[in-house]
Amino acid sequence: QKEVEQDPGPLSVPEGAIVSLNCTYSNSAFQYFMWYRQYSRKGPELLMYTYSSGNKEDGRFTAQVDKSSKYISLFIRDSQPSDSATYLCAMSPRDDKIIFGKGTRLHILP
Amino acid sequence: DTEVTQTPKHLVMGMTNKKSLKCEQHMGHRAMYWYKQKAKKPPELMFVYSYEKLSINESVPSRFSPECPNSSLLNLHLHALQPEDSALYLCASSQYPRVGSSGEAFFGQGTRLTVV
């Protein structure tokens, strides 16, 4: 079993819809969870960072972490065509490493 | 300012060339990272520098040689690369060497390297 599992998609949704992106993980040592957005041929851009379980909201983005289920989510409200990108979940135990999911390709259809 | 700057943006080099990738940040971060990313794959960690000292080398071939001249700069020296080394090379930084305790890790835009 891979440490971090993420459906690669592609996921296509109409503009204005709520998008739900998810990752599961197997390592209970992970405590720090991040979501990155990566446009084609660009570096990853940090969207959300959360510690342990709970929710965090920033504008149209909400990140959820459920450590008991080893499951994290990113919700995007009022999705826009400019949200079309690859979304990478990432997580870290208490060391220097960031473990990335494979990324989900998201297409928002105008 | 949450910017990590990488130069050059694009690089084409022959298998006998020697070149260097550069990364700079002025956020006072004390950890800097090199990642390699192939198309449609997640970034793969290569090296971590903590307080200007190499703390992690993920079994990277010696044709890749990192250098951290000071707390703001990170270089990756390239020599005798192979075509399969063609990829996007990403630099990242975080406030403290332990990503978790620092919170965020910020990435540069990457150098797209093509080895011919």
Mutation test of the interface with chain A: which of B34, B41, B57, B99, choosing the one with the most A Cβ atoms within 10 A? B99
Task: Write down the pLDDT at residue B12.
Answer: 97
**Residues A4-16, mean pLDDT to the nearest whole number:** 95
Cα–Cα distance measured from residue B55 to residue B51, given in angstroms and rounded to the nearest whole number: 9
Task: Write down the pLDDT at residue A76.
Answer: 98
Question: If contacts are CB pairs under 8 Å, which of residues 65-94 in chain A contact chain B?
Answer: 88, 92-94
One digit per residue, the tens of pLDDT, for chain B of length 116 reads 669 999 999 999 999 999 999 999 999 998 999 999 999 899 999 999 989 999 888 889 999 999 999 999 999 999 999 999 999 999 999 887 665 554 578 999 999 999 99
A31 in contact with B, Cβ within 8 Å: yes
Task: Write down the pLDDT at residue A41.
Answer: 84
CB-closest option in A44, A92, A96 to B107: A44
Evaluate whether A105 touches B39 at the Cβ level (below 8 Å).
no
Contact check, Cβ <8 Å, A96/B55: yes
Evaluate whether B47 touches B54 at the Cβ level (below 8 Å).
yes
pLDDT over 60 at A90, yes or no: yes
Task: Write down the pLDDT at residue A98.
Answer: 84
**Strand order through the sheet with B4-7:** B4-7, B18-25, B73-79, B64-70
Q: Strands, E, within A1-110: which ranges? A: 4-5, 11-14, 19-25, 32-38, 45-51, 54-58, 61-66, 71-76, 85-92, 99-100, 104-109
Cβ-based neighbours of B3, under 8 Å, separated by 6 or more: B25, B26, B27, B106
Contact check, Cβ <8 Å, A44/B104: no
Task: Write down the pLDDT at residue A52.
Answer: 79
**Residues A79-89, mean pLDDT to the nearest whole number:** 97
- Chain A residues in contact with B105 by the CB 8 A cut-off are 34, 46, 98
**Residues A95-103, mean pLDDT to the nearest whole number:** 84
How many CB atoms are closer than 10 A to CB A6? 22
